[in-house]
Amino acid sequence: MRKITAGMFIAADGVVENPHEWHFPYFNEELGAAVGAQLGSADTVLLGRTTYDVFAASWPQREEAGGEDAAMAKTLGDVRKIVVSHQDLSFTWRNSEQLKGDLLDGVRALKQEEGGPIGMSGSVSVVRQLLAAGLLDELHLFVHPVARGRGLRLFDDTADPIELTLLSCETFRTGTLHVVYGPGAAA
C-alpha cells in the first residue's frame, strides 16, 4: 500500500493561511532539505485546487528560469499531480489530472495503486479530511516561531479530536520545528 505524507507550514498558534506572508524569513537549507525529502520523494502529489492554482502559477516559471529551485520545480512538474475539486478543471501544468468522485474513495483507490509515496503540500481541507478518515500516514508540520493571531488554522473549533503519534521532531537553526506525526493508537 502506498504511503501518503502531507507537509504544512504552520505558525506557532496553528495558523496555516498565507504562509507566503510569514514563512520565508525562516526558510533555510535545513527546511529546504526536509521539504524536499517529504515532497520531492513522491512520485504522485495530491493537491487541493487552491494549492494547485498557487503551485501552477509559480513552479513552471521557476523551472523555466533555471534558478536555485529549478531542480525542485522540475521534480514537481514531472510528478503526477492529482487535484481535488468539486468543479470541472482544465490544466496547463504538465502531468496534472483531477480526482473524480468521492475524495475518500478516490484516495483509498490511489493508495492501492502501484507506485511510490504520495506527497501533499498545504491543501488544508484535504489534509483535514484524510486525517479524520485515518488515510494520512505522516503529517509533517513545519512549526515556525511566529504567532499570526488570526487566519485559517489547521484544526478549528468544529474539528473532532484526532489522535496522533509523534514519529520525530527536529529543531532547525531558525527556530522552526519539523514535527512528524503518524496516526494515533486508535487509528
pLDDT at 156: 80
The two counts, helices (H) then strands (E), for the chain are 5, 8
What's the angle, vertex CA 78, arms to CA 124 and CA 64, rounded to 5?
95
Q: Give per-residue pLDDT as tens, 93-123.
A: 999 999 999 999 999 999 999 999 999 999 9
Indicate the pLDDT class of residue 187, thresholds 50, 70 and 90: low
Those residues with Cβ within 8 angstroms of residue 13's Cβ, 6 or more apart along the chain or in another chain = 147, 148, 149, 153
Q: Radius of gyration of the chain from Cα atoms? A: 16
pLDDT at 129: 93
What domains appear along the chain, each with residue ranges and CATH number? 4-183 (3.40.430.10)
Amino acid (1-letter code) at residue 96: S
Give me the percent of the chain exceeding a pLDDT of 70: 98
pLDDT > 80? residue 145? yes
Q: Give per-residue pLDDT as tens, 19-39.
A: 989 999 999 999 999 998 998
Indicate the pLDDT class of residue 61, thresholds 50, 70 and 90: very high
pLDDT > 80? residue 159? no
